[in-house]
Structure 1
Amino acid sequence: MTTPPDLARVAFATDLARHGDRPAVLTGERALSYRELAERVDDVAARLGTERRLAVLAAANDIDSLVAYLAALTAGHPLLLVPADKPAALDSLVAAYDPDVLLRSGGDGTPVLEERRPGTRHELHPDLALLLSTSGSTGSPKLVRLSHENLASNAEAIAEYLAIGPDDRAATTLPMSYCYGLSVLNSHLLRGAGLVLTDLSVVDPCFWELLRQRRATSFAAVPYTFDLLERVGFEEMDLPHLRYVTQAGGRLAPEKVRHWARTGRRRGWDLFVMYGATEATSRMAYLPPELAEERAGTIGVPIPGGAFRIDPVDGLPDGELVYTGPNVMLGYAERPEDLAAGRTVEELRTGDLARLHPDGLHEVVGRRSRFVKIVGLRVDLGQVERILAELGVTAAAAGSDERLVVAVEGEQDTSLLAKLVAESIGLPRPAVEMHAVGQLPRLGTGKVDYPAVAALGAGRPAAAPPGPRAEGPEDVRRILAEVLDRPDVGDDDTFVSLDGDSLSYVAASVRLEQALGHLPTDWHLTPVRDLAARSARRPRRLVSFLETGIVLRAVAIVLIVMTHVELFTLQTAHVLFAVAGYNFARFQLHGERLPRLRRQLRSLGRIVVPSAAFIAVAHLLTDDYTWANVLLLNGIVGPQHLTSQWHFWFVEMLVYVLLAVTALMALPWADRAERRLPLAFPLALLAVGLVSRYDIVDPGLPKPAPVFWLFALGWAAARARTVLERSLVTLLTLLTVPGYFDSTLREVTVIIGVLLLLWVTALPVPAGLRRVTGWLAAASLYIYLTHWLVYPALVPVSPVLAVVASLAAGVAYWVLADRVLGGLRRAAARTGAPAEETPLAATPGPR
């Protein structure tokens, strides 16, 4: 179809310039006016061309994604939104729909546009504007087809009942690829209001600093968000500009609605409880804030322009809620041919069972689809959850024709709870399966992930009562919570976002691989929800595969100790500098600049504190060390000739390098350069490091051992993605390492280490040695520290015993340090001190 769409309807995208120099987008570091935003949108729209094409946007909460979204709407190109952090979902939808154009954030203010063909192979209906995944189906080929009228009418309705004005500023607490998060953007742009654009979590203090700095007047929340708000002390925060908080994305318990409504009244802001669905372009109803306390269990009234009716359902006392309005979707798409279809849906059958009260307020009392038949009995899954809620247990229920599967949070007597539920609803006890989990599995929207709940019972006989469980997918949150000492692990969290670093990476990786099978190479950047979806059922194997960096750390530290004991000579310490650079790039360069800086400083603290503590003890027990060693300054103040005071040179050099790169990355220009040129940036640092490696400075000037270039080489290895890029780093390794050391074997060892990081993602380890390898790698720093005091006394007895004792002492100090630092962190939490104020926060530990 060639009829052009009616773009005048989406004024929030096509008429941005009318708001002039008012601030449109505000981030932590920049502000963009509506005029400037309009210019960027027009530029990208021109690049997209005038022929309508199907585009896919890998969307993040950043300026590039916002510009790409608005440009596609402005130019009339139907757009499919996919979360930028879900590459598997992107690949799946690209394969299913074969888009003409791919859009993604460039990180420099200019969206990346990848044309897959000059024109289009699709027949696109003129009304089609946007394609969104249905709730909980990211990556599924089933999409919601939304029109320009859908977007415009819903934005107008929301702006009307929230009374959004040009002085309002909304903080983006939800992803723009989620219909709720997108509706915040649309409604505020429509009224010339500001967007405080961020991907920070509400548990991050930087989020609240940004809200105050940018004078945000509102933010959106899903039910799970309010659990997080309780943890961070939101109730008592001073947010003088906050006008209202909206809630949708699932039912918030009435008592919590009342609590937060009272809190808002006391603190000067309103709570808007809302009800919606992707199929209705997000919103269908809202509860006026003045009724939130009195009528907390209702969803309120239809949005302006919308209407409800309740259709009877056979055999049930309550009917199904049906919505009509201009925001009802065109219909679903399940294949590319569906994009040519016009409207196939006139009203939205919500699937919710509802009641209409005399005062005109609607109340949702259950779901038609939340009923299952088990052994011939009709079971209301919502009722199961309410029974447990009355007992003070947070639960999620799923089921099939064979069994009822219930997940309950925390340490619960699952046998007793299963018996109570079975008796309450009349089911045989063997048909009820109860699982205790650290936290209920949730989708990125904060809603309970019911398929994941159902999966807890997959493969179990219906009559088998639950028994002891090995680690499996449901334990991903628990593993990360234990390893990182973080009780707040959520579905959207990743190892990196939870402040994981190279010290905690080993413990987490080994346990997760044991629970889930072989891990993907980017597991540290993969959300918990996606990791939990991996199957844990793997056949027993004689050989396991561990990530190359982990194996190199374990092997290197063992060889270092064996070399010092003089069993043989194979020096591997310099390989670890390349591994350190590799890990720095993987764990310490994600997120916004200031939160990342705090994470880097905490990581430094995890090295400095246990090192200085142990060296202080060594100084007191022996005459070998000085206070310069304790303060990690021997590399600077000397002596310059080799003595026992140089024993800890590796730790000192590592700290110096990490301090230097942390300070560098705190600079805004360096931050921007690294994001824009992820490989060229470490190669430039490599060039700087080679100045010291080749001694291109005054030889009379004191300087530390030139190891920075090896760190930069490892950094570049982590950033090399393509075969060409890896080949370039390989060539640089082969050119720069030879000639530096006085031993050809040592040079070959370093080269092999770097090439393994570049080309091999995992190395085989005997299955029986997997945990031992993990312990050695995680404790490598501690082994290096302690072995200087352990092996000299044992070498005369047995060199092998000296090696074993040195390794065991290091692992023991690792365990001790974890217990002490973890205890300090928990004590600080009990006294109310924020973890971000101490470098001891989130200290990893063995389990």
Structure 2
Amino acid sequence: MSKGFWTHLDRVPDGPALLIPSRPHITYGELAERVAATARAMGAGKKLVAIEAALSEHSIAAYLAALAGGHAAALLPPDDDAAWLSFVERFEPELAFRKENGRWRLNETGYRPQSRIHHDLALILMTSGSTGCGKAVRLSAGAVAANASSIAQYLELDAADVGALTLPLHYSYGLSILNSHLSVGAALWVPGTSILDPAFVEEFKAAQCTNLSGVPHSYELMEQRGFRQQRYPDLRFMTVAGGRLPPSDVRLYHDWLVPEGRRFYVMYGQTEATARIAYVPPRRLPDHADGIGLAVPGGELRLVDESGTTVREHNVPGELVYRGPNVMLGYGETRHDLARGADIDELRTGDIGVRDADGLYRITGRLRRMSKIGGIRLGHDALEAALSERGITTAVVGDDELVLAAFTGAHTEAEVRGQLALAAGIGLPHARAVALEELPRLANGKLDYEQLRARMTERPSDSEKPTVATLFKEVFFPQQVLPDDCFADLGGDSLRYLEMTVGLERLLGAAPEGWEKMSVGALSARSQTALAARVISSDILLRAIAILLVVFHHATTWPIPGGAGTMFVLCGFGLARFQSKALFDGDFRRFFRQLRLVLLPYYLVVLGFSIGWGAVPWASVFLVGNLGFAAPERHEMLPYLYWFVEAFVQLLLLWALLFAPPAIRRFASVDPFRFGFILLVAATALHFASPILWPIGARQIFTLPWVLHLAVFGWCAAFASSPRRRLAVILASGVTMPLMAYTGGNWVGSWFLYGVQLPVLALLVYLPKLKVPALLAAMVIPVAAASYHIYLLHRIFPDLLLDASRPETFVSPWIIAVSVGSGLGTGLLAYRLQRLLTRGDGRFARRWQRLGLLWQGQTRRSRSGAGLAPTKRQSGALP
């Protein structure tokens, strides 16, 4: 085990280690005790420990404990379930440290990998990769300790320093701040606010911080807040890394700090070198504001040409190569890679640079056609491939401020720009698109990228449309909506999701990936270039198809059940996407919040039938009409088609019961897909056992045990985050659905019902987004948005207008047309009325809001009324 700084944290036990607002500071002695206790809890034997790397004392202690215990720590971004699940599946960590139910917990994951972890491996960091795909960087304990010591040396850190820890810990730059300060016994201020917070500056000064580090964007934010207009008596130096700060800004901060005897450090690094590779000595800065300087202490820089020969001349470009004790062991793609030792002894950075006569280095370009914006590496070739998968032929160029995609074809510049920003994971201000008749090529047929670079100086045209804020205010009326709020912060749930999606589709042409975690301000910025193409989520299309199946099935004698089955699959899919965090946290109050929006209109329907019948259908009032003991003919329950609401509420109750034990929550949160697959086996067994255990005849098809497996399939589809898991869902459905159809009567309706679910699941797992013609989208989106209203009301008008005792063998075309048309029209009209009411901010709208009748995005949980297919013998038993 390397004798790194983590092994002697208690050398100055009374010295402050972590300064956290609104609580006593944590001393090095206290931190050492917590680290030792956590290390003991991790046990003996080298393990991989996945850590949710929040800016928290708990994450810091867990990270240090993993190092102290000789384990390998993997630092993962906080509140990013997709990144967590992807890592867990690829690398199978034995231990997981993350926040559950509001508390930090160390849990075993249940993985028992066969491959061992190399004795040198101490840390795994994920690189920021193009199109969201990063590599695992394997780092040794020696590399971590060496880089921390090197940074502390050239920054001249000592125990009297107090560093501001504002950058993420899973980001190598942020982690290097922590490591370098701990290595000399310095303190770290861990603020509860961002740089944009008005209280940040005062808290920064109150903590007596001696240094502040940031990426170029951090300095943009500080300029917006007037950071340099304040006085900081304790400040000694500032640093910048993670991208290129314009030389004018470098000189600006250097000139501001130097007169007060302070320093400004420009640094360069990569995750593959445990953070820092080079720095510009402050005394050399005025003349080298555009450079990266010298190698850090203990390291060595050189340039090589295309043949690998060292470039010794001044101002001759070559690839920058770094050698030092902080170079990584290598990359990793799977658990098996963690058993390897060092694959390299020097780092080819991929950056082109020159060395001047003073021996200082300057970056002039990128060898592998890359940009680095906001700390995110963007491979131009990877972006071209990502856009090609979207059907867009492009040539991509860029620098560290802007990425440009030149394209051909029928796409619009706004569409390609938006797709480029989404693929790269950058903001629209950093993305540019230009339409060309043909892409420029050299005489040898290769793309002429240099010609495209000439267009880099052109700025994109933005037409500001701040209607995203209006959409948020409508959907969350009467809540106050601020620019920094996001869908999740405002208490968004599955019932509001579709309405927001529909609105964003209308404004942007496609709802950005992960929009529910983006702030109103960020989404408003994206709305400045609305996408022309219609890209919709596959579950929206499926919802529209499902409600149409419901309406046609109830208006005809056609054997086309399946709408309700699809809706139940979407129930499980929605629970996974929007309620899983509440379930994992045990926040059942939040989980059941959606019931208010489900039940209020349902009980209005109950009230209407009660008035019409002159009797109260008590079984429906208590949501047990689907259990088989009541009958609508005796006015004891609503008509059979309303069974779906009852089954859905029962599903929520069952789900809450399943997640009540903390052990289940912990197990499910670590790998929700595995949990879902286990539950799928149980739900399938329950489907076949329920007629034996609960023999209620034909009405069995309306009970939760009969349809539970469909919801579980939806849950699994939502968490099928890898090709292997997506294939598992398809294979499981390919076995289960035909078996259900055969044992469910083996007739055409049964085969239709379960056969429909196969393409439904395939769409959910393989095509989450679909590009459709604008005309089709214009028809699909309103029907999907109004699907809940259609479900509730689609039989009201036909049953009043037409003879309810329609013949079972033949229904005339005009009756079908009237039934379908009036059913869809009534639901669409009700939805339109709701939209008009939600747009109002006067007394009428507020009264309706108090009654709970403003259906904010109800259609995300829209419920089909179609009966699941009865068996051939049962088909005439139910209306």
Map 1:161-176 → 2, pairs under 5 A? 175-176=168-169
Distance 1:271 1:339 in 2: 28
1:198 counterpart residue number:
none
- Measured against aligned partners, the alpha-carbon deviations of 1:610-632 in whole angstroms (never above 9, x if no partner) come to 22123323432455862443453
Distance 1:450 1:718 in 2: 25
2:830 counterpart residue number:
813
**In the alignment, is the contact (CA less than 8 A) between 1:682 and 1:712 conserved in 2?**
yes
Change (3 A) 1:16 1:184: farther
Distance 1:324 1:89 in 2: 44
Question: What letter matches 1:697 in structure 2?
Answer: L
- Measured against aligned partners, the alpha-carbon deviations of 1:134-156 in whole angstroms (never above 9, x if no partner) come to 9xx99999x99993247889999
What SS class does the counterpart of residue 677 from structure 2 fall into?
A: helix
Map 1:239-638 → 2, pairs under 5 A? 247=200, 276-278=212-214, 297-302=230-235, 319-322=255-258, 331-334=267-270, 336=272, 344-347=279-282, 469=464, 479=471, 482-485=474-477, 488=481, 493=486, 495=487, 498-516=490-508, 544-566=534-556, 568-572=558-562, 573-590=564-581, 593-594=584-585, 596-622=587-613, 626-636=617-627, 638=629
2:383 counterpart residue number:
none
Superposition deviation, residue 490 in structure 1: 6.2
**In the alignment, is the contact (CA less than 8 A) between 1:602 and 1:838 conserved in 2?**
no
- The yes-or-no answer on 1:740 pairing with 2:676 is no
- Measured against aligned partners, the alpha-carbon deviations of 1:230-267 in whole angstroms (never above 9, x if no partner) come to xxxxxxxxxxxxxxx8x2xxxx5xxxx5xx99xx9xxx
Question: What letter matches 2:107 in structure 1?
Answer: G
Superposition deviation, residue 782 in structure 1: 1.9
Distance 1:600 1:673 in 2: 19
Superposition deviation, residue 579 in structure 1: 1.6
- Measured against aligned partners, the alpha-carbon deviations of 1:656-687 in whole angstroms (never above 9, x if no partner) come to 11122133324322211211342332233334
Question: What letter matches 2:255 in structure 1?
Answer: G
**In the alignment, is the contact (CA less than 8 A) between 1:312 and 1:320 conserved in 2?**
no
- The yes-or-no answer on 1:678 pairing with 2:672 is yes
- The yes-or-no answer on 1:790 pairing with 2:780 is no
Distance 1:825 1:738 in 2: 56
1:7 counterpart residue number:
4
Distance 1:708 1:561 in 2: 23
**In the alignment, is the contact (CA less than 8 A) between 1:492 and 1:527 conserved in 2?**
yes
2:686 counterpart residue number:
691
**In the alignment, is the contact (CA less than 8 A) between 1:149 and 1:326 conserved in 2?**
no
Superposition deviation, residue 105 in structure 1: 4.6
Superposition deviation, residue 580 in structure 1: 0.8
Change (3 A) 1:462 1:345: closer
Change (3 A) 1:765 1:697: same
Map 1:24-35 → 2, pairs under 5 A? 33-35=34-36
**In the alignment, is the contact (CA less than 8 A) between 2:535 and 2:771 conserved in 1?**
yes
The runs of 5 or more residues in structure 2 that have no matched partner are 17-23, 27-32, 99-105, 138-142, 223-227, 240-246, 287-420, 436-454, 804-813, 861-879
- Measured against aligned partners, the alpha-carbon deviations of 1:776-818 in whole angstroms (never above 9, x if no partner) come to 2232222111122122244577532332222222233334456
**In the alignment, is the contact (CA less than 8 A) between 1:822 and 1:843 conserved in 2?**
no
Distance 2:846 2:233 in 1: 39
What SS class does the counterpart of residue 743 from structure 2 fall into?
A: coil
2:818 counterpart residue number:
801
1:753 counterpart residue number:
757
**In the alignment, is the contact (CA less than 8 A) between 1:149 and 1:327 conserved in 2?**
no
Distance 1:552 1:628 in 2: 31
1:709 counterpart residue number:
709
Larger radius of gyration: 2
2:358 counterpart residue number:
none
Map 1:7-86 → 2, pairs under 5 A? 7-8=4-5, 11-12=8-9, 33-40=34-41, 43=44, 46-47=46-47, 59-60=53-54, 66=60, 69-70=63-64, 73-74=67-68, 83=77
Q: TM-score, normalised by structure 2?
A: 0.54
Change (3 A) 1:92 1:629: closer
2:314 counterpart residue number:
none
**In the alignment, is the contact (CA less than 8 A) between 1:14 and 1:74 conserved in 2?**
no
Question: What letter matches 2:857 in structure 1?
Answer: P
Change (3 A) 1:531 1:751: farther
Q: TM-score, normalised by structure 1?
A: 0.56
**In the alignment, is the contact (CA less than 8 A) between 2:473 and 2:481 conserved in 1?**
yes
What SS class does the counterpart of residue 581 from structure 2 fall into?
A: coil
Question: What letter matches 1:109 in structure 2?
Answer: N
Change (3 A) 1:318 1:803: same
CA RMSD of aligned residues (A): 6.8
Question: What letter matches 2:170 in structure 1?
Answer: S
Change (3 A) 1:104 1:713: same
**In the alignment, is the contact (CA less than 8 A) between 1:824 and 1:840 conserved in 2?**
no
- The yes-or-no answer on 1:222 pairing with 2:187 is no
Superposition deviation, residue 560 in structure 1: 1.1
**In the alignment, is the contact (CA less than 8 A) between 1:330 and 1:342 conserved in 2?**
no
Distance 1:547 1:312 in 2: 45
Distance 2:693 2:92 in 1: 50
1:109 counterpart residue number:
107
**In the alignment, is the contact (CA less than 8 A) between 2:488 and 2:516 conserved in 1?**
yes
Question: What letter matches 2:751 in structure 1?
Answer: E
2:719 counterpart residue number:
719
Question: What letter matches 1:8 in structure 2?
Answer: F
Distance 2:270 2:734 in 1: 45
Distance 1:314 1:603 in 2: 51
Question: What letter matches 2:781 in structure 1?
Answer: G
- Measured against aligned partners, the alpha-carbon deviations of 1:207-243 in whole angstroms (never above 9, x if no partner) come to xxxxxxxxxx9952125456xxxxxxxxxxxxxxxxx
Map 1:74-153 → 2, pairs under 5 A? 74=68, 83=77, 105=96, 109-110=107-108, 147-149=147-149
What SS class does the counterpart of residue 319 from structure 1 fall into?
A: helix
Distance 1:318 1:343 in 2: 18
The runs of 5 or more residues in structure 1 that have no matched partner are 26-31, 49-54, 94-98, 165-171, 196-216, 227-244, 265-269, 287-294, 352-442, 444-448
Superposition deviation, residue 534 in structure 1: 7.5
Pick aligned residue for 2:788 from 753, 761, 781: 781
**In the alignment, is the contact (CA less than 8 A) between 1:822 and 1:842 conserved in 2?**
no
Change (3 A) 1:640 1:275: farther
What SS class does the counterpart of residue 546 from structure 1 fall into?
A: strand
What SS class does the counterpart of residue 679 from structure 1 fall into?
A: helix
What SS class does the counterpart of residue 574 from structure 1 fall into?
A: helix
- Measured against aligned partners, the alpha-carbon deviations of 1:53-105 in whole angstroms (never above 9, x if no partner) come to xx998745689965663256548999996635679999999xxxxx9999995
